[in-house]
Chain A
Amino acid sequence: MRNHSLLLRITMGAIYPFIIVFGIYITVNGSTSPGGGFQGGAIISAVFIVQYFITYEKTVSLHIFNHIEKILYLAIVIFTVLFIFQFGEITPHFIKPYYMVIMNILIGIKVCCGLSVIFYRFVLFESR
């Protein structure tokens, strides 16, 4: 498993930035067009999967991903509660899109961390 395929490495290295841009686009525009936090996060997590196929090594820290995911879960709950306490039922119209975008971004990062953790856990630890 030491020899990496040169073809795979170069192709994936070229595709790399496009995956990130596409994932961010889907996440941010999720409120107005098809897509959303979950789909965008899943696409961004493909970056880490590609990285595994390029290097075959554990280059990311699973602990950091775990912590980020937990913190984001807390952030989502706190943000929603604070939003409701602040505006209640009389939410101004111009604020709603910003709320959607922020929630989508938070969910996207959380899903990205979660799927990456699942993948790395599966590949590195459950394999033997």
Chain B
Amino acid sequence: MIQDFFYITLIIFAIIAIQSGVLRNAIIYLSVFSLLCSVVYLFLGAPDVAIAEAVIGCTLSTILYLVALKQYHIFTVYYHCITEDVNEIVLLKNEKEQMKYALTKFASSKELQLDIINTTSSLNVLNESVSYDVVIFHSKQGIWLHGFKHSYQYIELANTLKAKLDMPIHVYYTNERDVGFVAEE
């Protein structure tokens, strides 16, 4: 009875991992699949293989996959909405949705994984503490984009946003020397 339950969940997680559109979620589903797999090995009377599967399949390979994904195709966008007024936030929300839609379109055309993070820190703090591709400051007057000059995706993104959105967009380039985590290398 319990074995049947595990077999069925195994198949379900395998299908979810294949069908999942977001790569990071697919990796987590794969990790759960490995864990269930090791339990099934235990039921089938192979504890040795179960330990190996739990250690290698569930832990090490998941970490390696996550590290690889983090370094590769993730496009990190920090979004900062500069306003204190509640009424303004409601107005800006509509524009934010438009911008999100444009960003998603851009990311799917380039096969990037979009990662939008809301923040309230200033650009200097972000430069020192995190690694990002684009920082977006949004207020009633328009949009300020900050990114790296050598990243050609940033220039394309700025052009796409300029074409698609009908609000004033200011594009700025951050010098890579100023950023803490790059200079550390």
A residues with a Cβ closer than 8 A to B are: 1-3, 26, 34-36, 38-39, 42-43, 45-46, 49, 115, 119, 122-123, 127-128
Check B129 against A36 for contact (C-beta < 8 Å). no
Check B55 against A127 for contact (C-beta < 8 Å). no
Check A35 against B64 for contact (C-beta < 8 Å). no
Please name 16 pairs of A and B residues whose Cβ atoms are closer than 8 Å in the assembled complex, sorted by A.
A1-B181, A2-B184, A26-B51, A35-B48, A36-B48, A42-B52, A46-B60, A49-B60, A49-B63, A115-B60, A119-B63, A119-B64, A122-B67, A122-B68, A123-B67, A128-B71
Determine how close the nearest CB of chain B comes to the CB of A88; give it in whole angstroms: 29
**Residue numbers in B under 8 Å from A42 (CB-CB):** 52, 55-56, 60
- The size of the chain B interface, using a CB distance under 8 A, is 21
Closest to B53 in A: A39
**Residue numbers in B under 8 Å from A26 (CB-CB):** 51
Determine how close the nearest CB of chain B comes to the CB of A3; give it in whole angstroms: 5
Which B45-81 residues have C-beta < 8 A from chain A? 47-48, 50-52, 55-56, 59-60, 63-64, 67-68, 71
Determine how close the nearest CB of chain B comes to the CB of A110; give it in whole angstroms: 15
Determine how close the nearest CB of chain B comes to the CB of A104; give it in whole angstroms: 12
**Residue numbers in B under 8 Å from A3 (CB-CB):** 129
**Residue numbers in B under 8 Å from A34 (CB-CB):** 47-48, 50-51
B residues with a Cβ closer than 8 A to A are: 47-48, 50-52, 55-56, 59-60, 63-64, 67-68, 71, 128-131, 180-181, 184
Determine how close the nearest CB of chain B comes to the CB of A39; give it in whole angstroms: 5
**Residue numbers in A under 8 Å from B64 (CB-CB):** 119, 122
Number of residue pairs spanning A and B whose beta carbons lie under 8 angstroms apart:
44
List 10 other contacts, CB 8 Å, given A3-B129, A34-B50, A39-B52: A1-B130, A2-B129, A2-B180, A34-B51, A38-B52, A45-B60, A49-B60, A49-B63, A119-B60, A119-B64
Check B55 against A2 for contact (C-beta < 8 Å). no
Given A123-B67, A127-B67, does the pair A46, B51 have CB atoms closer than 8 Å? no
Check A39 against B63 for contact (C-beta < 8 Å). no
Given A2-B180, A122-B64, A122-B68, does the pair A43, B55 have CB atoms closer than 8 Å? yes
**Residue numbers in A under 8 Å from B50 (CB-CB):** 34
Closest to A39 in B: B51
Determine how close the nearest CB of chain A comes to the CB of B158; give it in whole angstroms: 24
Determine how close the nearest CB of chain A comes to the CB of B31; give it in whole angstroms: 15
A42 to B57, CA, bound (A): 11
**Residue numbers in A under 8 Å from B67 (CB-CB):** 122-123, 127
Closest to B71 in A: A127
Given A122-B64, A123-B67, A128-B71, does the pair A46, B52 have CB atoms closer than 8 Å? no
**Residue numbers in B under 8 Å from A1 (CB-CB):** 130-131, 181
Determine how close the nearest CB of chain A comes to the CB of B153; give it in whole angstroms: 16
